[in-house]
Each structure stands twice: as structure tokens, then as C-alpha cells.
Amino acid sequence: MSEKRRDKKKRILRNGESQRQDGRYVYKYTDNNGKAHFVYSWKLEKTDKIPQGKRDCVPLRELEKKIQKDLMDGINLDNKKTTVLQLVEKYVRQKNGASLNTKNKYRTVLNRLKKDPFGQFLINKVKMSDAKDWCSKLQNGGCTIGTVGNYRKVLRPAFQMAVDDDLLRKNPFSFQLGDFLEHDSKERKALKREQEAAFLDFIKNDTVYSKYYDFIYILFNTGLRISEMCGLTFDDVDIINRTISVNHQLLYVSKIGLLVSEPKTDKGTRILPMSESVCECFKRVFKNRPRVSVEPVIDGKSGFIFLNKRGRATYNVYWVSRFKSMCKKYNRTHDVELPNITPHICRHTYCTRMAQNGVKPKVLQYLMGHSDITITLRVYTHLESEDILEEVEKLKEII
């Protein structure tokens, strides 16, 4: 009968265990694919002391327990060199059918992970506490909770892919941000009727900004996204039937430039009705549109309605800048200041106004092009108290 192998302390070593001449312990095992692996530790048991000058480490037999559990659960142990960045890159490569907006989000996340030390973490070492800590650092570094949420929306399915591939047992990003991050995002508020009227009246009569009146009026009265508005061509606006066909958007992407893409959501393609006043605005826009010798062509589309003085198509940043200037001038010249107004506030105001006027949620969802009706319903839950009182008064008359 062969003598059992022992370490330098005369302790019996189990199958796969051995001790090197320098005193370091080694455990050899074979994964479910038949590939041999080795793990090392200066300690066999938890009570062992670390040799002088060596770093503390997990005892070999604790490592063995984890390895055996992973093998029993079918976890693929050949993932020790996969980093968070490599995992996300693999996940993104499989999203060939993603929309342009989604691809831009993927690019933003990848760029962050390339610069952030977290991107070099090995995926089998990432715990939920590590994932939460990273999200907290992002917010403390200046990211809004919405931006952190966008990162998590990519990392969570990427790690779930690793779980599904038996690379991991648990998904470290399976948590809700609101459970531990501060809600720092400001709630968007629609303009009150008198605020909207005051702003439009100011634009209409201002010597500098009056040329933008029709554009702004259309935004307030159609609910179009600014990217949809900028992407409108003559073919999309039917003056006779008073309809606007929304089937694409115009975006500006860093390092790429202007491009035409599909609507933001799968419900973004829609036909919007025009009021008589909106129709009159479009007629004036057509009449006053700058004359150009060569029509701008972007991704095969031409005839863009809204051009700048150089005859080029306008886009989001162009209008955000102008709205900012208009609001500053208004507040300088009026005693009662207006809140910050952006193109999206125009859209949000339109949505709120439709809800106030009794438009049904499903109809409003269509008009707004919202992908999910819960987005639309939020408007109904944020109606001002005066709107509720007004409805109660109407009910009293009926009763």
C-alpha cells in the first residue's frame, strides 16, 4: 500500500493537492471540457500563517470548495482571462440589428470601459458589491442617474449572457439603481398655458428671433421630437390633407456628422394631423425657406424643410443653442422669468396639453410615438392641481 502524500507539516494531502519546494500549495483540477487548470496558495487551511514577506491569500481548500461547486453547477471555468470590456464587446458584436441610437449607446459604454479600470476587471471576480460601487463612482463623478442607468442597461444583459453561457453563476448587475443611488434627475415640467403664450408672443414680436416663430409654434403644437422636426422634408408634409408623415429622424453623431435614421422607437412611425394654425405656419416656412443652388442631400434624402442661413439642414444642437439664447433674452426683459425651455419641453408641453384636453392615453401614445404606454401615462399622473379642480367643476355641472 502506497504511503499517502503529506505536506511539510505532515498533513495528508488530498487528490490533486501538492506542495512545492518553496512551500506554496498547488491544486490541479480538470474542467468540464477536459482542460487542466492549476490554482495556488501559500496556505492550505485558514489557520495557516502566511510566510514572511508574502501577501495574504485565500486558503487552497477554500479555493477547492468554490471550484468543485462551480464544476457541479456546470460553470465554465475557462473564463479567468475574460474582462468586463471583452464581455461587453462580445455582447455588442451580437447586436447587428440594433438601431442607430442603440449603437451610439453601445459606443459610449465601450469608450467608458476602455478608460475605466472597471473595464479590466475579470468577470469571474466581479461581485454585486463591485458593480454597485462602480455605479456609485459614476454618479459621484458627475454622471446623472439616467446616464448610469444607460450603462447598466448594457452591462446587465452582457453579464446575463455570461450566466447563460455558464461562465458565471450569478449576474452582479441584477439590482435596481434606485435602491442605493440618489435620484438626481430633475423632473421635466410642462409650461403653463400663460407661460407658453407669453413665450410665443415674445418670439413673434422680437426683431431677432421672430424668424423662428413658426418652427417653435409647430413644435408646441405637434409634439414632434426635435430630430423628427429637423428631418422633415417636403414629401413628409401634406398641406392639402393636413398631415405630417413621421418616418425618419435627422441626427448628428460625433465623428460621423449628420445622418438619417429610423424613428427613435418602434412606435415612432406615425401620421400626425395638423391644425389650421400649424398648416399656416408650414406655408410661411415654405415661402420663406432660403433659396439654395444645391439642395443638401443626407443619406439619399433631400428637400429638408428647415435650413439655416447657409442652406444647410439644422439639427438638435443648433436649436438647443437658440432656445437657450431666446430664454435668456426673455428673462432679461421681463419681470416674471420663464423656466428653461428646450425643444423637448415643447414636446412635453404638447403631451401635457393633450392630456388636459381629455385625449385618451392610447391615442396620445400614438401621437407622441412612445414605445411604452407607461411613458405616456406619467403625464396623466403629473397634472397640476388646478387641472384636477377644473375637471371636478365640470363633473359638478354634469351631476
Q: Which residues are catalytic?
A: 225, 264, 344, 347, 370, 380
Burial classification of residue 317, based on how many CB atoms lie within 10 Å of its CB (0-12 exposed, 13-18 middle, 19 or more buried): exposed
Cβ–Cβ < 8 Å for 250, 313: yes
Phi-psi region of 98 (alpha: psi -120 to 50; beta: other; left: phi over 0): beta
**Exposure letters 90-109 (e unless 16+ CB within 10 A, then b):** ebbeeeeeebbbeebbbeeb
Pairwise CA distance, residues 380 & 104, whole Å: 31
Q: Provide the grid cell at 10.
A: 505532515
Q: Alpha carbon of 210 to those of 22, 35, 213, 350: distances in Å?
A: 83, 74, 5, 21
Pairwise CA distance, residues 335 & 316, whole Å: 29
Q: How many CB atoms sit inside 10 A of residue 131's CB?
A: 22
Q: Provide the grid cell at 207.
A: 426683431
